[in-house]
């Protein structure tokens, strides 16, 4: 599914202009046993990952563990400082004032969870400043919903049947897209 | 498939000619054209920002003695400005996070600019405590850094330290939230860029965004969890700011009502500042179809709610001061209302509590001039609230021989007005080069909440059932919804 996991350079791209038609098309195309290489949309289309059969993202689970790390770090560090490394008597108050630790523990939990999740998101989505992505069609960030089919190993007959199916399912445009070797990977 | 929305509900995207292409064109347009107005405004605020830097340099060179502080009033405009800016910074995260969790679709028109405003406001806020430290080059030691004195660590019991953690976390998480939302829109600008350099720069800014289904899936997961994290975060920030005062033993500060009262005040002032800026930018960049009167009315409802909460908090404070029987507390509040800062208290009460009551009337909520003037009033009133809390409690302390009056110097005034220039300067840069409205998010509500989609549905229903959907024909039902 992911764009960078193969070295294919030859694709068929179908473009739709209405997300509801597009979602039905995906269902029908998958039902026919045609493999969809990638799907590009200008905004998050509700129900798209179900139509494509994607599993739920595990990003939030990662967020939980990052948060737990931040929380543990905050509590252990403050405990170590106040009780072991440099205990100070603040007017006879306890050396281990747990209620005072709540705000900083909370903040560090949020900080670690947010940063950890965002960095995981960037790594998993292969996003970094300066990355040159493969643009199958410039209008997929504007007003077109695209389905990309890997045409590298397909016969000409298969390719033309995919094109036909796309048109029948309401695609406004179907085209070939060939990238130079390793372009934008 | 789509979430259901009543056809009677006023649209959030006006204009029957709207479609995805038009939305992209309209929302990217401000980044693609030059404007003389923009240049004038940017140069003016840039000059103000330079004066801000000059005044800070003056402060560092000659010391805090150049401010109007005296031995009695050790905190004045600096902390007033700090709390004021932090409060303004609250609306962005509230709009983007809390309204996302509550599935309020009107957030999509205003969230991007409000989040940007949050970031710039927190930058301005941070300047005040940092420069109030005096030896600003040692500011890094507000964090628990290893050092050669033991190491002697920071005091984890201190609300001032909690503030350091709260504000730096708030700043960085808001930045992540804002930027992760910007990446897809930078991708949109990149893909329609004409010049090579423009394409190159916006591609770097977009982090190479493609918009694949998997990317969007993770994007939605990220923004939902960040919203879930930011919601308690935004409430914690002003709670902790209020602890700076509430955990002290100064009459007028030592009150348990402070956290909710400060949070409500922060949202109140933040929405006012969003309105001030939005009323300008919707005009300057012709975004009236996307930031509609409906959006403004929704914000005004929040302003009347939070303004009234703040009003009740003021009255509760007075009641509790009387009811507690604590003499010093009673004096502090009597002195606040009838003492030498009477004028400041009157400003606070009239701007914050009385003026928003106009918003009980629908015609007032939907009037742009009233909204603009009131948003300025609220900003002034909320500045005075912080001034009243901080300065009146300090000026007349436990020892009458040391009672004093605070007057600002030119440096105080320069830093404060300069910080407003810095804020506007950053916002102007943002609105010229970044998409001011979240393009992808507006497209995501297009089929549900736009005037064009509603009219289309009414037309289809008319064809199949021979009637209307509700009373909705080809335009909004509400006669005053077109602004």
Which residues in chain A have Cβ-Cβ distances shorter than 8 Å to B188? 42, 141-142
pLDDT of residue A185: 58
What token pair was written down for B9? 């509900």
Q: Is the pLDDT of residue A162 over 70?
A: yes
| A42 shares contact with chain B (CB less than 8 Å) | yes
- What pLDDT does residue B362 have? 92
Q: Which of residues 163-182 of A touch B (CB under 8 A)?
A: none
Contact A108/B at CB under 8 A:
yes
Q: Which residue has the tokens 């523990």?
A: A105
Q: What is the reported pLDDT for A177?
A: 87
Tokens for B312, please give them: 């009740």
Instruction: Produce one character per residue of B149-182: b if its CB has 16 or more CB atoms within 10 Å, e if not.
Output: eeeebbebbebebbbbbbbbbbbbbbbbbbebbb
Query: How far apart are the C-alpha atoms of B272 and B305, rounded to whole Å?
Result: 12
User: Would the CB atoms of A2 and B214 count as touching at under 8 Å?
Assistant: yes
Residue B151 contacts A, CB cutoff 8 Å: yes
The C-alpha of B374 sits at a distance from chain A's nearest C-alpha, in angstroms, of: 34
Residues paired with A175 in a beta bridge = A13
SS (H, E, C) A90-154: CCCCCCCCHHHHHHHHHHHHHHHHHHHHHHHHHHHCCCCCCCCCCCCCHHHHCCCEEEEEECCCC
Q: Are B82 and B129 in contact (CB under 8 A)?
A: yes
CA B258 to mean position of chain CA atoms: 20
Note whether A103 contacts B: Cβ–Cβ < 8 A: yes
Where are the domains positioned within chain B?
20-454
In Å, how far is B194's CA from the nearest CA of chain A? 12
Q: Tell me the pLDDT tens digit for each residue of B175-202.
A: 999 999 999 999 999 999 988 999 999 9
User: What was the pLDDT predicted at B471?
Assistant: 43
A83 at the B interface (CB within 8 A)?
no
Kindly report, as residue ranges, where domains of CATH 3.30.70 are found in chain A.
10-56+136-178
Nearest 5°: the CA angle B361, B363, B366 is 110
Phi and psi based region of residue B412 (left: phi greater than 0; alpha: psi -120 to 50; beta: remaining): alpha
Four-residue CA torsion sign, B24, B176, B124, B342: positive
SS3 state of residue B335: helix
CA of A158 vs chain B CAs: smallest distance (Å): 24
- Mean pLDDT of all residues belonging to chain A: 89
Among A47, A57, A100, the residue with its CB nearest the CB of B157 is A100
Which residue among A39, A110, A128 places its CB closest to the CB of B207? A128
Q: Any idea which residue has 């509230």 for tokens? A: B94
Question: Do residue A52 and residue B243 have CB atoms under 8 angstroms apart?
Answer: no
Q: Which pLDDT does position B32 carry in this prediction? A: 87
Of B153, B172, B221, the CB nearest to A59: B221
Distance CA B138, CA B21 (A): 52
Are B156 and A42 inside 8 Å of each other by CB? no
> Higher-confidence residue: A169 or B6?
A169
| Tokens at B44, concatenated | 């003016």
* Secondary structure class of B67 (helix, strand, coil): coil
In whole angstroms, give the CA distance from residue A28 to residue B6: 31
Cβ <8 Å between A44 and B21 = no
Where residue A97 falls (left for φ over 0; alpha for ψ -120 to 50; beta otherwise) is beta
**Helix or strand (DSSP H, E) at B122:** helix B107-132
Mean pLDDT, residues A50-57 taken together: 90
How many CB atoms sit inside 10 A of residue A80's CB?
Answer: 12
CB-CB under 8 Å, B236 with A127: no
Q: Which residues contact A26 (CB under 8 A, 6 or more apart)?
A: A36, A39, A48, A51, A52, A147
Q: Are B131 and B53 in contact (CB under 8 A)?
A: no
Tokens of B150: 């033991």
B141 neighbors B155 (Cβ within 8 angstroms): no
Domain B20-454 CATH assignment equals 1.20.1630.10: yes
Specify which residues A145 forms β-bridges with.
A16
Residue B134: predicted pLDDT: 86
CB contacts, 8 Å: A40 with chain B: 210-213
**CB-CB contact of A126 with A80 (8 Å):** no
Interface of B with A in 225-284 (CB under 8 A): 225-226, 229-230, 232-233, 236, 240, 243
Q: Which of residues 1-40 of B touch A (CB under 8 A)?
A: 1-3, 19-21, 24
pLDDT per residue as tens, chain B (483 positions): 456 677 778 888 888 888 899 999 999 998 888 888 899 999 999 999 999 999 999 999 999 999 999 989 999 999 999 999 999 998 888 888 888 888 888 888 888 999 999 999 999 999 999 999 889 998 989 999 988 888 889 999 999 999 999 999 999 999 999 999 999 999 999 999 988 999 999 999 999 999 999 999 999 999 999 999 999 999 999 999 999 999 998 998 988 999 999 999 999 999 999 999 999 888 888 899 999 999 999 999 999 999 999 999 999 999 999 999 999 999 999 999 999 999 999 999 999 999 999 999 999 999 999 999 999 999 999 999 999 999 999 999 889 999 999 999 999 999 999 999 999 999 999 999 999 999 999 999 888 888 888 888 777 776 655 444 544 444 444 444 443
Whether B192 sits inside 8 A of A142 (CB atoms) is yes
pLDDT-derived band at A26 (thresholds 50, 70, 90) equals very high
Tokens encoding B391: 């300065």
* Cα distance between residue A181 and residue B218, in whole Å: 28
Contact state of A122 with B214 under an 8 Å Cβ cutoff: no
- Residue A110 and residue B229: Cβ atoms within 8 Å? yes
pLDDT at B465: 53
Phi and psi dihedrals of A146, rounded to 5? Answer: -110, 145
Residue A91 near chain B (CB below 8 Å)? no
Q: A38: which DSSP letter? A: E
- A-to-B residue pairs, Cβ atoms closer than 8 angstroms: 196
Residue A78's pLDDT is what?
A: 94
Q: Does B441 touch chain A (CB under 8 A)?
A: yes
Please tell us whether the domain made up of A10-56+136-178 is placed in CATH 3.30.70: yes
For residue A178, list its beta bridge partners. A10
CA-CA distance, B21 to B19, in Å (whole number)?
6
Minimal Cβ distance to B176: which of A118, A134, A138: A118
pLDDT digits (tens, 9 = 90+) for B213-239: 999 999 999 999 999 999 999 999 999
């Amino acid at each position: 599914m992911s764009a960078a996991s193969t070295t294919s350079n030859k694709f068929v791209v179908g473009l739709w202009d209405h997300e509801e038609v597009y979602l039905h098309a995906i269902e029908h195309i998958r039902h026919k046993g045609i493999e969809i290489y990638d799907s590009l949309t200008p905004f998050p289309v509700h129900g798209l990952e179900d139509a494509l059969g994607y599993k739920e993202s595990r990003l939030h689970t990662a967020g939980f563990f990052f948060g737990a790390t931040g929380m543990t770090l905050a509590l252990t560090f403050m405990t170590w400082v106040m009780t072991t490394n440099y205990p100070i008597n603040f007017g006879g108050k306890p050396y281990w004032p747990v209620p005072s630790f709540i705000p900083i523990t909370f903040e560090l939990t949020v900080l670690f969870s947010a940063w950890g999740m965002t960095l995981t998101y960037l790594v998993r989505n292969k996003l970094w400043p300066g990355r040159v992505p493969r643009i199958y069609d410039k209008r997929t960030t504007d007003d077109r919903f695209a389905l990309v089919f890997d045409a590298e190993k397909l016969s000409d007959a298969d390719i033309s049947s995919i094109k036909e199916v796309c048109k029948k399912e309401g695609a406004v445009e179907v085209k070939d897209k060939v990238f130079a070797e390793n372009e934008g990977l | 498939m789509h979430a259901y929305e009543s056809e009677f509900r006023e649209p959030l995207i006006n204009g029957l000619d709207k479609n995805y292409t038009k939305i992209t064109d309209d929302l990217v347009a401000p980044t693609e054209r030059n404007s003389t107005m923009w240049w004038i405004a940017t140069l003016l605020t840039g000059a103000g920002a330079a004066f801000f830097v000059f005044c800070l340099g003056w402060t560092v060179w000659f010391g805090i003695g150049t401010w109007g502080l005296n031995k009695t009033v050790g905190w004045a405009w600096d902390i007033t400005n700090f709390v004021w800016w932090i409060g303004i910074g609250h609306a962005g995260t509230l709009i983007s996070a809390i309204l996302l969790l509550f599935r309020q679709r009107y957030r999509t028109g205003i969230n991007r600019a409000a989040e940007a405003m949050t970031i710039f406001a927190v930058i301005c806020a941070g300047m005040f405590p940092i420069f109030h430290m005096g030896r600003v080059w040692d500011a890094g030691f507000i964090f628990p850094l290893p050092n050669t004195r033991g190491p002697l660590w920071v005091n984890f019991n201190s609300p001032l330290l909690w503030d350091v953690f709260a504000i730096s976390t708030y700043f960085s998480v808001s930045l992540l939230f804002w930027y992760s939302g910007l990446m897809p829109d930078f991708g949109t600008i990149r893909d329609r860029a004409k010049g090579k350099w423009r394409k190159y720069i916006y591609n770097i800014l977009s982090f190479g965004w493609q918009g694949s289904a998997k990317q969007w899936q993770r994007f939605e997961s990220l923004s939902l969890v960040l919203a879930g994290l930011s919601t308690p975060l935004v409430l914690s920030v002003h709670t902790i700011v209020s602890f700076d005062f509430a955990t002290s033993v100064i009459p007028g500060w030592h009150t348990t009502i402070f956290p909710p009262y400060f949070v409500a005040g922060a949202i109140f002032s933040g929405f006012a500042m969003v309105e001030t800026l939005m009323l300008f930018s919707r005009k300057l960049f012709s975004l009236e179809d996307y930031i509609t009167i409906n959006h403004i009315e929704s914000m005004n409802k929040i302003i009347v709610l939070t303004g009234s909460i703040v009003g009740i908090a003021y009255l509760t404070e007075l009641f509790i001061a009387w009811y507690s029987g604590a003499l010093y507390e009673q004096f502090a509040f009597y002195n606040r209302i009838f003492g030498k800062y009477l004028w400041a208290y009157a400003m606070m009460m009239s701007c914050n509590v009385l003026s928003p009551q106009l918003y009980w009337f629908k015609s007032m909520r939907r009037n742009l001039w009233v909204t603009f003037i009131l948003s300025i009033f609220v900003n002034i009133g909320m500045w005075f609230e912080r001034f009243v809390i901080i300065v009146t409690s300090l000026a007349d302390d436990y020892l009458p021989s040391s009672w004093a009056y605070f007057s600002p110097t030119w440096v105080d005034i320069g830093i404060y007005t300069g910080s407003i220039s810095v804020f506007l300067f950053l916002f102007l840069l943002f609105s010229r080069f970044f998409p001011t409205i979240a393009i992808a998010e507006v497209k995501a509500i297009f089929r549900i909440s736009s005037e064009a989609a509603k009219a289309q549905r009414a037309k289809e229903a008319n064809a199949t059932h021979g009637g209307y959907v509700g009373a909705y024909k080809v335009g909004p039902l509400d006669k005053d919804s077109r602004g």
